[in-house]
Every structure is written in C-alpha cells, then in structure tokens.
Amino acid sequence: MSAAARSPGPLRITRIEAAPLFGESPKGGWSAEIRPEDSIHALIAVHTDGGLTGYGSVFTDGRLVEAGLGVLRPLFLGENALEPERVSEKLHQNTFWMGRGGTLTHVVSGVDIALWDIFGKATGLSVSRLIGGRYRERVQPYCSLLMEEPAAMRDVVAAYRARGFTAFKIGWGPFGRAMDARLDEAIVRAAREAAGPSAKLFVDAGASDAYWPHGLKWAIRAADMLADYDVGWFEEALKPDALEDFKALRARSPVPIAGGEVLTRRQAFIPWLTQGAFDIVQPDVTKVGGLSEQRRIAWMAYDFGVRYVGHGWNTALGVAADLQLAAALPDCDLVEFIGGSAYVDGILEQAFTLDAEGWLRIPDAPGLGVSLDFDKLRRYTHAADRLRA
C-alpha cells in the first residue's frame, strides 16, 4: 500500500463550540477572589465533517471564549483539522492586530489542543508520538495548593500527602500580602513539616496578582528564607513585566527562579530566555497558544539550558495536554496538578490516579488519550451537549 493510500483525511472543520465552566471554580488566592459562579475556564470542541471531534481547554472567561470563536469563525470554517500547526498559525497571523496575546490567543490555545486531539484520533497515535515520540511513560505530578495560615497549611499538605502525592507547590493566599515575613516563613515551615524532608516543595508568591506590594529586595530576602526549607523553586516572585529585576534575582537567589505563566506566544519568551531571567520557564498550554506554541517554547528553553515545567492551573484537558508534552520532551520531569479541583477530578470518564509512588501514567491512546464524561460535565456547564461529537 502506498503512503498516499494510508494517509487520512482531510477532515474539514464544520464548527467549533465552547462550554464555559461554572459552579465549582477553585479559589485562586487572588485579591479579587474567584467566586464559584465565575467562569475562568472553558472547554472547546472542534467538530469535523468526518465525525471526529477533538477537545481542548482555555484559561479565560467562557463568555470571552464564545465571543472569540465568533471572530475566528471565518478563518477556521472548512480548514483541514489534520494540520494543527498550520491552522493555528493562520488564526494567529490574521488576528494579531486585534491584540496579540490576549483573549484570541487564549482561544486559539484551546482550538490548537483540540486539533492535535483530532490528529491523534485520525492516525491512531497519541499526541506525544505525533510531536516527536515518548521519552517516558509516567511523570511526577506536584500537588498545587493555595497558601493557608500555618496550622491549616500543615493540615492541607498532610491530607494530600496521605493521598499519595510526593511533590507540592504552595502559593498565593497570605504569602507576601500580609506584609509579615515571620508569617511567610511559618507557612513554609508548616508545609515542609507536613510534606516531610524527602518531598519536593515549591513556593509561588503569585506576584501577578493585582497591585503586588513587593519588589526585588523583598524577593531576595524571601529567597534566602526559602533556601532554609529546601524549596525547589521560587515562582512569580516579582511583577510579571519586571525583566531586569528577574535577572537580578536569579543572579542572587540561592533557589531556582521560575515564571512565565502570564506570557503568551513564543515570541514573548525570547527576551526572558536570551537574557537569563529564569531557571525554570512555565508557559500555560491553555493560554500560550496551545500545544504547537508550548512545544516550541519548551524546546527553545532546552537549547538555553532552562528547565521547562508547564503551568497547569486549568482543567483535566490541560493536564492531558501537559502529560503528552511531558512524554515528548527529553527533560520534563514534573506536571502541575491542582489539588481538589472539580474541573480536574470530575469531568473525565476515568479520572487521573496516582501510582504507588505518587506518579501519573501518561496516556498512549489516540489523541490526548482521555475522554470527557458528558453526564458529569453537565454539573459545571449548560453547554455540555454542544461538545458531543
């Protein structure tokens, strides 16, 4: 049989639907706290004329996602869903003047993830095999938790340790915002005591929050304190545009410096990588432009000797995309996993489970390798049926 005879498709895009998620949005620790009824995530379904449907996730208010799809519709209708990078780049190239990096870039992220899901389903291959192959079959998740007062922090970390997690990130909440360095240290101490000496522990200041009150000198002092508790990285220690301060902090900090979750498109990461601002770069696949962009950023970071660990404070489909990338990159050893999020634990036919060592197995089924449970999904969105194939 010839190669041409074995090639699938094309599969033409007939429509793209969004399902805003409401009702159990996890708290973010933000100054203007997320309410359960707020929409900060949406799921996307790309439907095709061949009956295959792919699914993606967007870190944006679902109502903005619906509006963004209306803008993008003339560009994607009739396109070949088996060409994810080309189609996504077409969407980027023809909308940059509307605000590159904003809502439309976030929306394209979900579309791109869904296109890769379709490509995998059409070829019978997992996304990781399509984007380069599998370096590993499992990866360590770190349980991402909000900062609490010390006693509560100890209890929360202990509870997730009992569930099998062996790596933890604590972030946002009162850390830095209470203007009390002793409280900051007490929170970290409580987390380390609960996690145990052998567990990995990371700290996220969350300085992309509104009106972050601190600067470089605070970050340096905080980094020195974190080193005493064997913290693996200090994330978002400075306002997200403070490139020069990030460079200075990285040069002086005894712990690795991480960031980049608010940057979008690969071009935005170039100065941060070329000028040595990060030890660890953390793009979010549901914001940055999807798997196509995330993969390019990760390989660019690799060439600069910067670790890639994706920001994954999103949904189960975001986790699935991160797992596929973790398989396909030579040095990705961690994925973020929100502790207790209904949008991670409660929307799949088979929820993610830890193995005996606290790791996640990376699906090798076609596409993202996971399936939505539409009956469960109806609890969180009025639009679950729009997503069905």
Any idea which residue has 């080309």 for tokens? 86
The fraction of the chain above a pLDDT of 90, given in percent, is: 91
Same domain, 341 and 197: yes
Same domain, 116 and 168: no
pLDDT at 7: 67
Q: Per residue in 82-103, pLDDT tens? A: 999 999 999 999 998 887 888 9
- Check which CATH number belongs to the domain holding 106 and give it: 3.30.390.10
Q: E strands, the chain, where?
A: 13-20, 42-48, 53-58, 138-146, 167-171, 200-204, 234-235, 257-259, 280-281, 307-308, 334-338, 360-361
Same domain, 114 and 193: no
pLDDT at 27: 79
- Check which CATH number belongs to the domain holding 301 and give it: 3.20.20.120
Same domain, 139 and 87: no
Q: 228: domain range?
A: 129-372
Same domain, 113 and 139: no
User: Which residue ranges of the chain lie beneath pLDDT 50?
Assistant: 1-5
pLDDT at 230: 98
pLDDT at 32: 80
Strands 280-281 and 257-259: parallel
Same domain, 56 and 174: no
**Neighbouring-strand partners of residue 48:** 13
* Neighbouring C-beta atoms of residue 145, cutoff 10 Å: 24
Rounded Cα distance between 246 and 244, Å, is 5
Strands 234-235 and 167-171: unpaired
Q: Is the peptide bond before 10 cis (omega within 30 degrees of 0)?
A: yes
Query: What's the pTM?
Result: 0.96
Tokens of 388: 């069905």
pLDDT at 34: 82
Same domain, 73 and 162: no
Tokens of 40: 């900060």
Same domain, 185 and 289: yes
Same domain, 109 and 144: no
Same domain, 162 and 261: yes
pLDDT at 389: 78
Q: E strands, 13-85, where?
A: 13-20, 42-48, 53-58
Rounded Cα distance between 38 and 40, Å, is 6
| Eight-state DSSP code of residue 363 | P
Tokens of 252: 């002086």
Same domain, 296 and 353: yes
Q: Per residue in 139-195, pLDDT tens? A: 999 999 999 999 999 999 999 999 999 999 999 999 999 999 999 999 999 999 999
* Neighbouring C-beta atoms of residue 99, cutoff 10 Å: 10
* The total number of structural domains that make up the chain: 2
Same domain, 33 and 161: no
